[in-house]
Amino acid sequence: MNPQNETAILSFWHKLEFFTPFDAKIQEGKDKTNKTLTLDQLSKLAVGGQKNLSIAQLLKSEYPNQYLVCSKIYLNLFDFGCLSKSIQNLLQEQLSENEQYTQEAMSADKGETCYARLPINDTGEFDPANIEISTAPWAVGFSMAKGLDSLNFEAFETDCGKLLEKLDELCKQHLAVQKIEQPKVIRTVLSPALLLDIAGRLKEWAYGYCPEPMPTIRIISEWQEQPKKSSDKTPKDQKHAERNGQNHKSDEDVDNLPDEEIGILNSFYAQDIHSIIRQIDKGQSSAALSAYLGTKPDRPATDLYGTEGNKIIWRHLRPKYWNRGRWLSEPQHGLSLMQQFAVNTFFLEGEQPVFSVNGPPGTGKTTLLRDIFAENIVRRATRLAELATAKDAFSGTEKVNDSTVSRLKPELVGFEMIVASSNNAAVENISRDLPKKSSLCATYCTGSHPSYVYLDKIARNLFAKNKQKYDALTPDDDTWGLFSCALGKKGNREKVRQGLFFVPQNHDECKGYDKALHQSIWEWRSGYQGISFAQAQENFKRQLDIVEQKLNDLDGYFILHEETVLNPETNQAALQQQYGTCAKSVQTEKEKLNDARQTRIETQTAELQGIPVHSDFILAVSDAQSRLQAATQKVSMPLTDEDGEQRAYWQNQIESLKHSYPGFFMRLFKRKQCRELREHLAYCYEQLSQLHLAADKRKKSARQEYEHCTQAVQAAQAALLQEQKRVYQKEITAAENAEKAAEGRLKAVQRQLEQLGIRLAQRQEKWNAYRQYQNRFAHIRLPEKYDELQNDDFQIAGLWQDNELNDARSRLFGCALQLHEAWLAEVAIKGGGFGSNLFLISEFLKGSAGLNKEQTLLVWQSLFMVIPVVSSTFASFARQFRDVGAGCLGYLFIDEAGQAVPQAAAGAIWRAKRVMAVGDPIQIEPVFTTPPPLVRTLERIAALPDCANVSPTEVSVQILADRCNAFGASVLRKGESDATWIGSPLRVHRRCADPMFGIANQIAYDNKMVFGNTDPAKRLPPKQDFYLGSSSWVQIAGEAASRQFVQEQADLVIRMLAEIAWHSGGLPDLYIITPFKHIKTELCRQIAGNAALKTIKGLQQWCRMRIGTVHTFQGKEEKMVWLVLGCDAKTDGAAQWAAGKPNLLNVALTRAKHYVFVIGDKDLWAGKKYFDVAAKNLPQIDAREFYSRAEQLSDG
């Protein structure tokens, strides 16, 4: 995607963030007070007898026996709904019915927002620079005044600058007045008059925007029974104390430090997104963010549910691609097929910056992440193992403040791992669970085997410390190593700082502290008794060789299995068939050669006259001979009768004339008569001569014709002979060529047969080797066809699972941790090169380091050498990694990505080289309360690129990450016409029993999910003491008395709870879930007021924790769930909304591990999409049957 399109999307998100309302939810506590003032009340205070008192003095007068610690003042508080109404009025567009239900489901039950919040200390002093403002009222006022098209961050910054100038001017004015009465005052004290003026300036800042009813002001104050201890240590003293592992602070409750550290209250992302836009405009880029903002992968996608996908899965699961490092978990519990595919592919496809894993609940997302964490540690340990000495890890030094710190070599950075999410509990659960012994197989942390610990006493110092005491950790909660920690908000950072660098000054006064169990990094450094760096290197290399050898063995098995079994063109049977066919071809070609040779001999010995030629030549000879025969006949033909008669006639005439010829005297005397006689005789001679000449001429012509015909016959016979010779030679040549060709073919097939024989011998050798592999790894089952990988047994068991290999890989991870610990022990000592880095980390976590961007990155890289994994919410990410640039952090892992709005992750992704998003978009969609009409309007203004569906109302972080993942699957969910592309899917589910699993699988996962045990009996829930029979649909209808609430259904729920409580003596461990907030509210109200229930201890808390909408229980699980649907025919629109997507029903069902009871009108709901599947799979019972099951519960 080009930079222009990237900035268009980011600008769209950025503008949306202006309108995100700040939830001014007040955290109540025993040490906090809440005072609300209307502007009228504040006005009276400002002009009354108490006008010269500070706000702090006014508060102290109400609590004379308490000591004020600090206060936070929320200015111009107003209801959430006012903001939404103002936006709708601005756009002149109302919400659709479905949008109303969605907004209701996502918004708080009731809540307030504000214009600004400002802190004051215990004396009431106020610094205008500390004010925190909400962009939402400003954005609404600005848009009303100047239009949405003009809305931008530059305008906001300008107006905020003007506001701060005005507030500063106000403070100076009030300070001048205060000095008249109290000359010693040096800082402005917040008085009612000044507070009123500030409220007025905020209204001006928001372009006069003022919701109805009039906003109020609320003051939240924190108190303590003793005066706050002050610290008079100088920075030098503090530095000395920290270097010596002493805590310079009093016992402060760091968990209660303020979470918010940014100037903008309502958006944690606006400033960060604006900063990213500026950097993109300057030509800077982030490969990960560019991929995330794209609409498709950079290369053709592979559907892992298709034929080609099966081949890709097989190839990516090749043993040589496996992660060498494995979490310290039970060797027999290997990853499922698609878990291992995700791990392998993530590392194998290193050029793909964003990878996504589509993991529904119970599919082992955390298990997968653990192996990735372990692999990264092993990869970095491989670099450490190559160093000559521990100090060789540094490429040089840098002067930072008064210290000289060391820079890590480039090959040791890029392994930073951050877990981030919108859900604070999710990320903290991961980062706080990893260091616990319960996350490991007991084998690896007991004395009976080589145990693996990593800075365990420092970890215990961090996790056991609780305010002014140390908790005794249970065996499961006890720590094995400082592998991860929760950062993000300031309280977390300070807690980590305290645990990492400090122990109590007075050990005796700190309950639970044991110096043998709890150490700071300084004490650990001084008392380190572990193996040396060189020995750790040797141990690691030795274990790595073991792992490599085992993987190489399996890789050989992989190659042979692919060649001998999976690929038909090269398997043994096919090769034998080819050999047999070729042998037959050899025999055939031999016979053909013999035939060709015989043909050649016969051709060579054939008589020339018998050579067949073209008929034209034969016809030519025959024709010439016929003409010769005719000419011969003419030559030998006698005179014709006519010729004879004429010749005889004239001869007779001549004879007659001769006889009558006169004698001499007559000739003498009868001269005339003699002359006439002579003339007549001459004439007769002439006639006779002409006859002879004519006959001669005819004979001559006949002879000539005869001679010509004779020549023609000779020529025809010569041509015939020539053609016979030509044909004869041609046939000989053809026969010779045919013989040679037959010889060539025979030699070719003989060579082919020889090659096939060699290949067959080689194949047999490979087959024998393959059989050896099969015998050696008899416990490993492999597919005979690629598509068998889709079978349940392969999906569950995976490939190449070997306990010895798993154990070796886990131990390699353990050796990698030992190598890191040994390295740290050597470089942390004086002169080791890393001591100043550790001190700088402490200063940095405190927030007082004053570093530039390069130094900030150096500190983070140093911290990750000590603590491999940290977590943060997206809300705190920008502040925590404020000066970290594009692609500077190694790995970002986004947990519950399906529940995060897309813009929340932009800043975190911008800073990361590699990103893995893990989640399920078919769970509850991200909570986003900005009115949809405003979202649509801003989409039009933003001029987004084609096909860029990036609206938070439509997509989540998971969906965008799935889009750019080249390895995923097309899923056609029930009721949908178009398939959805999801990221690399996890398919083995190990949480819910049937029927919850089966229903959810059908409505949400295209029946692609696999139950984690192939035994059908294991899919059924276990029976227990609290057993209400099998899961069912409890048919109970009724009229919706108010909105979606049906009283008859509530009555049944209350009767059931009362009956169960009567039998068990307490409230049951179950969730009561409903699609609608109004039903939840009414259920809680009526249960709390029920006579049979209200006396039960903890009822209110039980209701808060166990009754709620689907959104309330996202990410949670319980053995039993009651799903209360509500609705009637008049509120069918609400039911249609609930059935609009599979998410709501899917989440409700999959909260239940063992049993679900749907309580509602089946006639109404069974016709709705997705709910029809539940209706078919849940047996129907009536309310009486359901209640009777509760009555049958035993007291035991």
Residue 385 pLDDT class (50, 70, 90 cuts): very high
Whether the predicted pLDDT of 146 surpasses 60: yes
pLDDT, tens digit, 9 for 90 and up, residues 190-237: 889 999 999 999 999 999 998 888 888 988 888 887 665 443 333 333
Structure tokens at 10: 């980011």
Residue 260 pLDDT class (50, 70, 90 cuts): very low
Q: Residue 943: its pLDDT value, please?
A: 85
Burial 720-737 (b: 16+ CB within 10 A, else e): bbebbeebbeebeeebbe
Residue 917 pLDDT class (50, 70, 90 cuts): very high
Whether the predicted pLDDT of 500 surpasses 80: yes
For residues 731 and 827, state if they share a domain.
no
- Who's near 1196: CB < 8 A, 6+ residues apart? 1025
Weakest-pLDDT range from 477-486, 631-640, 700-709, 1163-1172: 631-640
* CB 885, CB 409: distance < 8 Å: no
Whether the predicted pLDDT of 731 surpasses 90: no
Q: Residue 253: its pLDDT value, please?
A: 39
- Who's near 639: CB < 8 A, 6+ residues apart? 647, 695
Q: Pick from 1118, 1143, 1139: which is nearest to 958 by CA?
A: 1143
For range 851-877, the mean pLDDT: 96
Which of 90-99, 760-769, 1007-1016, 1104-1113 ranks highest by mean pLDDT?
Answer: 1104-1113
Q: Would you call 878 helix, strand, or coil by DSSP?
A: helix
For residues 658 and 516, state if they share a domain.
no
For residues 456 and 311, state if they share a domain.
yes
Sequence-ordered strand ranges (E) for 327-402: 354-358, 394-400
What's the pTM?
0.85
pLDDT, tens digit, 9 for 90 and up, residues 1097-1156: 999 999 999 999 998 898 899 999 999 999 999 999 999 999 999 999 999 999 999 999
Q: Residue 796: its pLDDT value, please?
A: 96
pLDDT, tens digit, 9 for 90 and up, residues 870-886: 999 999 999 999 999 99
Whether the predicted pLDDT of 680 surpasses 80: yes
DSSP-derived secondary structure letter, 1023: P
Amino acid at 85: K
Q: Give the mean pLDDT of the chain.
A: 88
499 occurs within a structural domain: yes
Burial 562-584 (b: 16+ CB within 10 A, else e): bbbbbeeeebbeebeebbeebbe
975 vs 1084 pLDDT, higher one:
1084
For range 634-643, the mean pLDDT: 66
- Who's near 242: CB < 8 A, 6+ residues apart? 248, 501, 502, 839, 842
For range 1156-1163, the mean pLDDT: 97
Residue 609 pLDDT class (50, 70, 90 cuts): low
793 occurs within a structural domain: no
575 vs 151 pLDDT, higher one:
151
For strands 417-421 and 988-989, give the pairing: unpaired
* CB 1000, CB 1149: distance < 8 Å: yes
Distance CA(601)–CA(595), nearest Å, equals 10
For residues 771 and 812, state if they share a domain.
no
Distance CA(549)–CA(554), nearest Å, equals 9
**Angle at alpha carbon of residue 776, lines to 774 and 777, rounded to 5°:** 65
Distance CA(883)–CA(260), nearest Å, equals 18
Distance CA(73)–CA(55), nearest Å, equals 10
**Secondary element (H or E) of residue 819:** helix 803-828
Range of the domain at 613: 575-776
Percentage of the chain beyond pLDDT 70 is 93
Distance CA(1010)–CA(1031), nearest Å, equals 20
Distance CA(487)–CA(867), nearest Å, equals 11
Whether the predicted pLDDT of 242 surpasses 50: no
Amino acid at 293: L
For residues 698 and 814, state if they share a domain.
no
**Secondary element (H or E) of residue 523:** helix 521-526
Bridge partners (DSSP) listed for residue 1160: 1035
Q: Residue 286: its pLDDT value, please?
A: 94
Q: Residue 1076: its pLDDT value, please?
A: 95
Whether the predicted pLDDT of 420 surpasses 60: yes
Structure tokens at 572: 């043994």
Burial class of residue 645 in the structure, from the number of CB atoms within 10 Å of its CB (0-12 exposed, 13-18 middle, 19+ buried): exposed
Q: Would you call 441 helix, strand, or coil by DSSP?
A: coil
Distance CA(759)–CA(578), nearest Å, equals 11
Weakest-pLDDT range from 254-258, 904-908, 1085-1089: 254-258
Overall number of domains in the chain: 4
CATH number of the domain to which 908 belongs? 3.40.50.300
* CB 927, CB 310: distance < 8 Å: no
Whether the predicted pLDDT of 18 surpasses 80: yes
For residues 596 and 694, state if they share a domain.
yes
Where are the alpha helices (H) located in 777-802, listed in sequence order? 792-797
Whether the predicted pLDDT of 369 surpasses 90: yes
DSSP-derived secondary structure letter, 223: E
**Secondary element (H or E) of residue 1035:** strand 1032-1035
Tell me the DSSP string of 624-678: HHHHHHHHHHHHTPPPPHHHHHHHHHHHHHHHHHHHT---HHHHHH-HHHHHHHH
**Secondary element (H or E) of residue 837:** helix 835-846
For residues 963 and 870, state if they share a domain.
yes
**Final residue of a structural domain among 970, 987, 1009:** 970
pLDDT, tens digit, 9 for 90 and up, residues 116-126: 999 998 888 88
1001 occurs within a structural domain: no
* CB 1150, CB 992: distance < 8 Å: yes
pLDDT, tens digit, 9 for 90 and up, residues 964-979: 999 999 998 877 778 8
Whether the predicted pLDDT of 51 surpasses 70: no
* CB 245, CB 502: distance < 8 Å: yes
Alpha carbon of 1009 to those of 316, 981, 997: distances in Å? 21, 16, 9
Distance CA(872)–CA(492), nearest Å, equals 9
180 occurs within a structural domain: yes
Distance CA(455)–CA(470), nearest Å, equals 18
For residues 281 and 362, state if they share a domain.
yes
**Final residue of a structural domain among 776, 795, 829:** 776
**Final residue of a structural domain among 939, 970, 1001:** 970
Burial class of residue 195 in the structure, from the number of CB atoms within 10 Å of its CB (0-12 exposed, 13-18 middle, 19+ buried): buried
Distance CA(10)–CA(906), nearest Å, equals 8
Q: Would you call 745 helix, strand, or coil by DSSP?
A: helix
Residue 843 pLDDT class (50, 70, 90 cuts): very high
792 occurs within a structural domain: no
Distance CA(724)–CA(727), nearest Å, equals 5
Bridge partners (DSSP) listed for residue 914: 891
For strands 1118-1124 and 1071-1074, give the pairing: parallel
For residues 229 and 288, state if they share a domain.
no
For residues 870 and 729, state if they share a domain.
no
For range 413-432, the mean pLDDT: 90
144 occurs within a structural domain: yes
Distance CA(501)–CA(520), nearest Å, equals 5
827 occurs within a structural domain: yes
Alpha carbon of 19 to those of 84, 111, 139, 428, 668: distances in Å? 9, 16, 6, 28, 170
Distance CA(922)–CA(746), nearest Å, equals 66
Q: Residue 559: its pLDDT value, please?
A: 95
Tell me the DSSP string of 250-319: -S--GGGS-S--SSBSS-SSHHHHHHHHHHHHTT---HHHHHHHSSS-SS--EETTSHHHHHHHHHHT-G
For range 793-820, the mean pLDDT: 97
Percentage of the chain beyond pLDDT 90 is 57
Structure-token match 């009637």, residue found = 1128
Given phi > 0 = left and psi -120 to 50 = alpha, else beta, which region is 1069?
beta
Q: What is the dihedral of CA 1025, 1028, 1031, 1033, to 10 degrees?
A: -160
Weakest-pLDDT range from 261-265, 455-459, 915-919: 261-265
* C-alpha R_g of the chain: 51
Overall residue count recorded for the chain in this entry: 1196
Q: Residue 186: its pLDDT value, please?
A: 79
For residues 767 and 838, state if they share a domain.
no
For strands 1180-1182 and 1032-1035, give the pairing: parallel
Sequence-ordered strand ranges (E) for 95-184: 112-113, 116-121, 132-133
For residues 349 and 489, state if they share a domain.
yes
654 occurs within a structural domain: yes
